[in-house]
Structure 1
Amino acid sequence: MPDQITADCVIEDERWEAAGLEQLAARAVEATLRWHRIGGEVVVMGCDDLRISALNADFRGKPRATNVLSWPSVEHLPHPPGARPVMPDEDELGDIAIAYETCLAEAAEQGKPVADHVTHLLVHATLHLLGYDHENDPDAEFMEATERAILQDLGIADPYRETS
């Protein structure tokens, strides 16, 4: 049985309240951590494109909007490409920021429900907090397979499936 799972939300952009970010974050973080059979705390900040652009510039040197950013609380141990990372043993797993305008635009462009797209991005970001990455093909394939499995448990369609 996993330890306690907490997803704390900080709403900087009020539009996230109407979009149900608190419930989406709780659902995504809980599903991801339960899938790994661990507990922990994640802080999710719902912001706008302007704020995430500043964060992206400060932390990644990329002064433009992006959909989601994550900051793990611990430095992760190296793992072989395509292997499951070693799970952190800290309660505080890290922070996530998610941008309203970018998420809505991507969901519309991809023909997906906003809630499903946001849930996918939060699962993806939570996996980054756990040490997953997509810096090489084996790691990207493993991360995407893990995302698919967690999202399937939530009843959300495969976000990587090609549509015509």
Structure 2
Amino acid sequence: MLEVAIEADGEWDSSTGWDELARSAATAAIAESAFPQLTSSERMVELSFRLAGDKEVHALNAEWRGKDKATNVLSFPMAEAHELAKAASPGPELMLGDIILARGVCIAEAAEKAISIEEHAAHLMVHGTLHLLGYDHMDDESAADMEAREIRALARMGIADPYAGDR
């Protein structure tokens, strides 16, 4: 069973259905991962999203990645690969990790791409969830794999390929 927790600070528009968007993004990303059983397992699987301001993300990015700037999304995985592989087995709650999005960066990138903040946030939520599941984009092969998974996950949500204009 998948449990998605979300917390949004006052900078984020409270009229948007962030809870549903986060659940949809996490579910779609997991479905396109090597661990689709995470959403249907009887074992509790949890991840959390934090919608924050740029200052908070800047501080976290500086502390954890040594980069003195805000970034669009940060992921903090908690589960090891062997735990993900055994996620369908009975056991204690499996914490996938935490994902944090920066509102200002998100808004600027959405405007640059001429898409809604919700659509871009969904992409970042999918991206962050895939990071929690062990995917990265450190080399061309892994980047291509992760991008393909993102495109398929977003298509499940009715969102167009965010990379189409980059090709």
After TM superposition, is the score higher than 0.5? yes
Deviations 1:18-77 (A, max 9, x none): 343222111111222234232321110110000000000010011111110000003447
Instruction: Note if 1:47 corresponds to 2:52.
Output: yes
Residues 38/54 of structure 1: CA separation in 2 closer, same or farther (3 Å cut): same
Residue ranges of structure 2 left out of the alignment (5+ in a row): 40-44, 88-92
TM-score of the aligned structures, taking structure 1 as reference length? 0.85
Residue ranges of structure 1 left out of the alignment (5+ in a row): 78-85
Identity of aligned residues (%): 41
Secondary structure of residue in 2 paired with 1:66: coil
| Cα displacement (A) at 1:7 | 1.0
| Cα displacement (A) at 1:116 | 1.1
| Cα displacement (A) at 1:114 | 1.4
The answer to whether the 8 A contact 1:87-1:130 is kept is no
Q: Residues 3-152 of structure 1 correspond to what in structure 2 (within 5 A)? A: 4-35=1-32, 36-39=36-39, 40-76=45-81, 87=85, 89=87, 91-152=94-155
Give the residue type in structure 1 aligned to 2:164: R
Residues 16/70 of structure 1: CA separation in 2 closer, same or farther (3 Å cut): farther
The answer to whether the 8 A contact 1:5-1:33 is kept is no
Counterpart CA distance in 2 for 1:18 and 1:52 is 22
Residues 76/37 of structure 1: CA separation in 2 closer, same or farther (3 Å cut): closer
Give the residue type in structure 1 aligned to 2:94: D
The answer to whether the 8 A contact 1:10-1:45 is kept is yes
Counterpart CA distance in 1 for 2:50 and 2:162 is 23
Residues 126/32 of structure 1: CA separation in 2 closer, same or farther (3 Å cut): same
Counterpart CA distance in 1 for 2:137 and 2:159 is 21
The answer to whether the 8 A contact 1:120-1:147 is kept is yes
**How many equivalent residue pairs?**
153
Deviations 1:113-157 (A, max 9, x none): 211111010000000000000000000000000111111111100
Q: Provide the residue aligned with 2:90 in structure 1.
A: none
TM-score of the aligned structures, taking structure 2 as reference length? 0.83
| Cα displacement (A) at 1:17 | 2.2
Secondary structure of residue in 2 paired with 1:42: strand
